[in-house]
């Protein structure tokens, strides 16, 4: 499981011209799953994200969490996090979990995230347009 977390001032996801998720201050989480991922991985990574301290405090030190700043989460499924570009110029996605299994884990992961902050999400498997105002930028990968 891979989660790419971007600290944002705002973010939204649109599908077919309709906004399906929108947040102000918080995290845009792009998440991808591989064949061996389980619900336990979702719990572990959601807990890590929920406690991640990457917001600045009053002394401009990176020390505050989502809860500390009243932030939200926008979670978007992204199987391309498992792109293998090691051979040729066309990425292979053999390490990405099959869509039906990944959708189940994605929904479970979003449920876990909602225990830490208000969580909005995209639509699994849809052609999504993601918009964000990166804050920093500050981007971290959790596996």
What are the pLDDT digits (tens) for 17-50?
999 999 999 999 999 999 999 999 999 999 999 9
The residue length of the chain stands at: 143
Place of tokens 């884990």: 105
What are the pLDDT digits (tens) for 87-127?
999 999 999 999 999 999 999 999 999 999 999 999 999 99
Catalytically annotated residues:
78-80
What are the pLDDT digits (tens) for 57-71?
999 999 999 999 999
CATH 3.40.50.740 fits 2-142, yes or no: no
Q: How many helices (H) and strands (E) does the chain have?
A: 3, 8
């Amino acid at each position: 499981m891979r989660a790419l977390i971007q600290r944002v001032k705002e973010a939204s996801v649109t599908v077919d011209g309709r906004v399906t998720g929108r947040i102000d201050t918080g995290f845009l989480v792009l998440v991808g799953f591989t064949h061996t991922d389980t619900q336990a991985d979702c719990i572990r990574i959601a807990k890590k994200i929920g406690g991640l301290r990457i917001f600045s405090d009053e002394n401009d030190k990176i020390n505050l969490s989502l809860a500390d700043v009243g932030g939200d989460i926008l979670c978007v499924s992204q199987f391309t996090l498992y792109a293998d570009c090691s051979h040729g110029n066309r990425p292979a996605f053999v390490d990405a979990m099959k869509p039906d299994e990944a959708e189940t884990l994605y929904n479970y992961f979003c449920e876990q995230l909602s225990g830490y902050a208000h969580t909005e999400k995209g639509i699994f498997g849809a052609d999504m347009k993601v918009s964000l105002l990166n804050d920093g930028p500050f981007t971290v990968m959790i596996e």
